[in-house]
């Protein structure tokens, strides 16, 4: 029991972080960046402002935390995949599973167009962009650790796990950006599959 408790506490902390992050994202998209306060985020997540402050310094940090949590879950998924499964098959399935969990349906309704426009505006906020840079570094380290375990390499000494983690980050970012900029709505799962199929094939010229 003593060995399991820290794991349970950590899971609960991650769940709280994710709930706050999702509340921050949802409110910023619905109301606009400047119209969302820490107090509103805490209320949306049904926690106190003090609890919010225990996890995040500001709303930008809270929003960026979703990216780190998604990467942690991808890393967790990689650790559970069959060891004889090709690495990029495992990576592709793990990435798709985590992005699909929070993906909206790709429709061309007025509400969805407004949602995509608001998401683009939110991501363009300078304060958020700075936090995203930090989140990318944390996400890459988490993925590199899982890849190192799977491949028998050293995340601190070998370039391979860091390289693969960086490619995962670049690939997912390219897929999300492509979907956000598309004139017609695109299903992110399909674009992610295309991106990682191309990476797995060595990025041949189209």
**Which pLDDT value is given to residue 11?**
84
Q: How high is the pLDDT of residue 110? A: 65
pTM for the model stands at 0.84
The per-residue b/e assignment along 86-116, b for 16 or more CB within 10 angstroms, e otherwise, is: eebebbbbbbbebbeeeeeebeeeeeeeeeb
Which pLDDT tens digit goes with each residue over 161-186? 999 999 999 999 999 999 988 877 88
- 57-78 pLDDT, tens digit per residue, is 999 999 999 999 999 999 999 9
Sign of CA dihedral 189, 194, 195, 201: positive
pLDDT band of residue 104 (cuts 50, 70, 90) is: low
Distance CA 103, CA 71 (A): 15
């Amino acid at each position: 029991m003593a060995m399991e408790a820290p794991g349970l506490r950590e899971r609960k902390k991650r769940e709280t972080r994710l709930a706050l992050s999702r509340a921050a994202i949802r409110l910023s998209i619905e109301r606009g960046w400047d119209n969302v306060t820490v107090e509103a985020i805490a209320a949306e997540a049904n926690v106190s402002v003090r609890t919010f402050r225990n996890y995040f310094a500001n709303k930008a940090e809270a929003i960026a935390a979703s990216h780190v949590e998604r990467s942690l879950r991808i890393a967790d998924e990689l650790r559970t995949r069959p060891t004889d499964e090709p690495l990029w098959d495992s990576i592709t399935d793990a990435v798709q599973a985590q992005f699909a969990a929070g993906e909206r349906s790709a429709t061309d309704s007025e509400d969805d167009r407004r949602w995509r426009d608001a998401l683009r505006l939110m991501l363009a906020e300078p304060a958020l962009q700075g936090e995203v840079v930090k989140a990318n570094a944390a996400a890459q380290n988490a993925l590199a650790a899982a890849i190192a375990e799977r491949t028998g390499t050293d995340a601190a000494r070998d370039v391979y796990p860091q390289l693969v983690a960086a490619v995962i980050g670049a690939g997912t970012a390219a897929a999300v950006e492509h979907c956000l900029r598309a004139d017609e709505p695109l299903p992110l799962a399909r674009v992610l599959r295309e991106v990682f199929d191309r990476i797995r094939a060595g990025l041949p010229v189209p």
